[in-house]
Amino acid sequence: MAAVATNFLNVVSQLESEFEAQTGHDLRLVAGSTGKLYAQIVNGAPFEVFLAADQERPARLIAEGLALADSRWSYAEGRLALWSAKPGFVDADGARTLRSAEFRRLAIANPDLAPYGLAAREVVAKLGLERQLSGRIVLGENIGQTLALIATGNAEVGFIALSQLGSLSASSIGSHWIVPRSLHSPIRQDAVLLAHAANRPGARAFLDYLRTPAVKDRIRSHGYDVN
């Protein structure tokens, strides 16, 4: 069983049947915010692999003796996008959209639980807009809920993972701005094998599968950077 950060679910769910066909192992995916998945692991959830949206929680699990240090690696680096379901709403320079504040609500993922939310908060701070936008920000529990807030019109605009744009239909693509890397800390996403699964061949096979060149190319095609 793999615990998967919400932003990466679209990618890994498309690989699920292929992995099972190639290896003969069953794969069950459970998605959530990185912070909540970490808390579940600490409290004994029976996950075997953790695909986090940051590096901090896998490192913590290793320090706590709950994950294997030699299994940890960065499987992707995420990109952040400012998105609106409304065509033409987000300017080609999204910073201009934010500064104009011509919206009632700006959605971000909870920075305490979701690394993409933390990156979004850094962008707002870097642009000097914390005070101007403080009363307009609404929080999604994770990046998936944040997308839903924007898609349903509960927020006119918000920060999502660039990879999520690939899951939108042509009729709902709206408008977006890819946030420059210079405006936030890198969103390096680490995978780790949990200690109790050290001898589970399926768990190790899944991590090895994610390292293959063909899968890395697939991950890149969804808007991630991959080493």
Task: Please say whether the beta carbons of 178 and 91 come within 8 A.
Answer: no
Same domain, 210 and 120: no
Same domain (yes/no): 19, 59:
yes
Q: Are residues 20 and 34 in the same domain?
A: yes
Transcribe 100-154 into DSSP letters.
HT-SS-EEEE-TTT-HHHHHHHHHHHHTT-HHHHTTTEEEESSHHHHHHHHHTTS
Could you list the residue range(s) of the whole structural domain that residue 162 is in? 80-178
Half-sphere exposure of 218 (CA within 13 A, CB side): 16
Which of these, 45, 55, 48, lies nearest to 75 by C-alpha position? Answer: 55
For position 22, what pLDDT does the model report? 93
| 86 and 69 in a common domain | no
* 155 is a domain residue: yes
- The answer to whether position 129 is within a domain reads yes
- The whole-number pLDDT of residue 101 equals 86
Residue type at 120 in one-letter notation: A
**What's the pTM?**
0.87
Do residues 123 and 173 share a domain?
Answer: yes
* Residues 72 and 85 reside in one and the same domain: no
In degrees, rounded to 5, the angle at the alpha carbon of residue 21 between the alpha carbons of residues 18 and 27 is: 75
Q: What's the pLDDT score for residue 71?
A: 96
55 with 84, same domain? no
Question: For residues 211 and 51, is the Cβ–Cβ distance under 8 A?
Answer: no
Q: How many domains are there within the chain?
A: 2
Same-domain check for residues 22 and 72: yes
Whether 226 is covered by a domain: the verdict is: no
For position 166, what pLDDT does the model report? 80
Evaluate whether residue 227 is within a structural domain. no
Q: What is the pLDDT along the chain (227 residues), one digit of tens a residue?
A: 999 998 899 899 999 999 999 999 999 999 999 999 999 999 999 999 999 999 999 999 999 999 999 999 999 999 999 999 999 999 999 999 999 989 999 999 999 989 999 999 999 999 999 999 999 999 999 999 999 999 999 999 999 999 888 877 766 789 999 999 999 999 999 999 999 999 999 999 999 999 999 999 999 999 899 98
Q: How many residues does the chain have?
A: 227
In a domain, 68, yes or no: yes
- Same domain? For 159 and 95 the reply is yes
Are 195 and 120 part of one and the same domain?
Answer: no
148 lies in the same domain as 211: no
